[in-house]
Structure 1
């Protein structure tokens, strides 16, 4: 039992969250993740998943995991740094390096752990980090854990970034520019060509977290490949948990850099690694994405994205700055956002309301994420539900 005052204090804080509509109402998935799934006991079209290429329930990933489990067992035994890791991780590291077109690579237990561990490892007191104002929370936490100075530049604004670079140039030992490749709430793409040019001019390191770009842009290789700046990125960060349909984080760079991170990043050194079965599924996912089949899945994903975005805009919804299969419906009101999400679920369409503090107040939205496995009927069902309840609620 906790102390009475502790229960009372957090009970009141929870009540405040509920009253402001800022609490997560988490659904229960009762089937494999896919473009359609059973959620809270009903079959729905899923627009709330990062599973862009519909690989999360692919039988080849499952088979690879089963075979690895039979060979290596389930658990890793301890943290990789202490007990060692199973040999299949060597194959995975080589495949990631091939995928990222880097000399070497390293996997982490999660994508969050990459940023939380790597950023504090590569910068120190006397350095400065320039970070996009809408970077992911894992980047923000990684910056907080470092002892470097922090400077925030306006979202996707190379001019503001250059102004900030002028201000810090010559005053710090190292400069690190950090940005998402694709921003998770708006679905827009970082202007990496311009950012890379500035990194060259000011001798800054460039760190790109491409969690939502991998498997989606650049024939699957991500936003640096899409924009032709792979060679100019010093730290290629990503995750297996989105388009690749699995779990775990990754980083690619030169051999010396990767070995340094392996020996300094606490979230790698002190975290138990994922099971060897997960490594096998990750390896298979990369093989698929890098194949002709992967390119066909990407083509279908973009075909679905164009159809769905055009449909939403035709109804009158505001899809913001979306450039990717992340297609937000920006509503700007917490109550209406939550009510629309509930109504869509009642119609058999699973979406998630995104409200403060995930986004700024006044920009509340539903974030739709299109899947390569969605059929035209799936998307038409979702669009019909959006039109029906968007008009009922006075949103369109």
Structure 2
């Protein structure tokens, strides 16, 4: 059975008295803390100077230690529970960054010798790095090419197979065929992992992301980052309870990193609750994307096949791309110049990202500058 090693290794940890558990800290003050209603003198914190109590009437800025020591507090539990419930997963685990979540989940989960990772060639660097660090074999399939992926899966002798894709690709702005990827995963007894950094908050029902279009497709692992539409920082992995427990035991990034700031977790929870009710802002963003594409078409500015907020204008030559981006800055417009190795050679581009905050006048001004410079 695919991924049966997860349950086996969890049982082994328990039998050896090595099973790691998180203790929920309900209150911390100076050198005291409360767990399950019992107050303790805390001799496990890294809050060496006691500065956490220096700012009254504010949320706790630091968690003072890893989640497995004394860093796991009520607001972390609240955020994890809320996300798992709203998105229909059994469990959720918080990370301090999307890069850490992506790379560490792959190198931890795909640790079995009979494993193989199948990655879209345009996946984010954090996913590629995680795959390279894993003990599993790693195969890359042509971008959104289901036939190529299917052939790779058919050739695989691996017992444990994981398909990995972004929901919205960060440099091209196009979307993954998640429903078809899910069908292929089931056909080949594989798992599916989606990194929805640029889809969460923007796409799907109530902004729940790329996996929640129409009836929705729930992958085995869903990575969300909070530094994009959520306007906060950090990330999470949504998964089964068994996978969550496995990551708590073996994910070195999670075990040995200081937990997410409670203040950040509180802000993130508030922003996500607001985000799920922000259909008006999503409609505004959609309108802005449509307006930008319309103006570019009218002025013969070639765009890539993207209907998302990421609208790349491929120039090709890196030097010319940088020159155009710098000229735009002189005229009051800040646009990213994306060059190799982030993108393929001869595909250097301006990466234009639209928001609901832009006015039509803002967008028209940008397009007029692009027309002059290009």
Where on the TM-score scale, by shorter chain, does this alignment land: which range?
0.7 to 0.9
Give CA deviations for 1:306-336 in whole Å, capped at 9, x if unaligned: 1112212322222112121100001111111
Which consecutive residues of structure 2, in runs of 5 or more, have no partner in the other structure?
A: 1-54
Q: Does 1:382 align with 2:366?
A: yes
Q: CA deviation at 1:85?
A: 1.6
Aligned residues: CA RMSD: 1.5
Give CA deviations for 1:80-107 in whole Å, capped at 9, x if unaligned: 2222322111110012113322121111
Q: Does 1:312 align with 2:296?
A: yes
Residue among 62, 68, 72 paired with 1:85? 72
Q: CA deviation at 1:345?
A: 1.1
Q: Does 1:106 align with 2:106?
A: no
**1:287–1:153: structure 2 CA closer, same or farther, 3 Å change rule?**
same
Give CA deviations for 1:17-72 in whole Å, capped at 9, x if unaligned: xxxxxxxxxxxxxxxxxxxxxxxxxxxxxxxxxxxxxxxxxxxxxxxxxxx98354
Q: Does 1:239 align with 2:225?
A: yes
User: Normalized against structure 1, the TM-score is what?
Assistant: 0.78
Q: Does 1:138 align with 2:126?
A: yes
How many residue pairs end up in the alignment?
Answer: 318
- For the residue of structure 2 that corresponds to 1:327, the secondary structure is strand
Q: Which has the higher contact order (CA 8 A, sep 6+)?
A: 1
Which consecutive residues of structure 1, in runs of 5 or more, have no partner in the other structure?
A: 1-67, 391-396
- The answer to whether the 8 A contact 1:320-1:330 is kept is yes
- The answer to whether the 8 A contact 1:126-1:174 is kept is yes
Moved beyond 4 Å, runs of 4+: none
Instruction: Describe how 1:1-396 pairs up with structure 2 within 5 A.
Output: 70=57, 72-124=59-111, 125-168=113-156, 171-219=157-205, 220-226=207-213, 228-231=215-218, 233-291=219-277, 294-390=278-374
Give CA deviations for 1:220-270 in whole Å, capped at 9, x if unaligned: 111111264433x10011100001101001111122221221222111111
- The answer to whether the 8 A contact 1:328-1:368 is kept is yes
Give CA deviations for 1:138-171 in whole Å, capped at 9, x if unaligned: 0001101110001111100111010001000xx2
- The answer to whether the 8 A contact 1:196-1:229 is kept is no
**1:368–1:99: structure 2 CA closer, same or farther, 3 Å change rule?**
farther
Q: CA deviation at 1:173?
A: 2.0
Q: Provide the rounded CA distance (Å) in 2 between the counterparts of 1:229 and 1:72.
A: 36
Give CA deviations for 1:374-394 in whole Å, capped at 9, x if unaligned: 11111111111111212xxxx
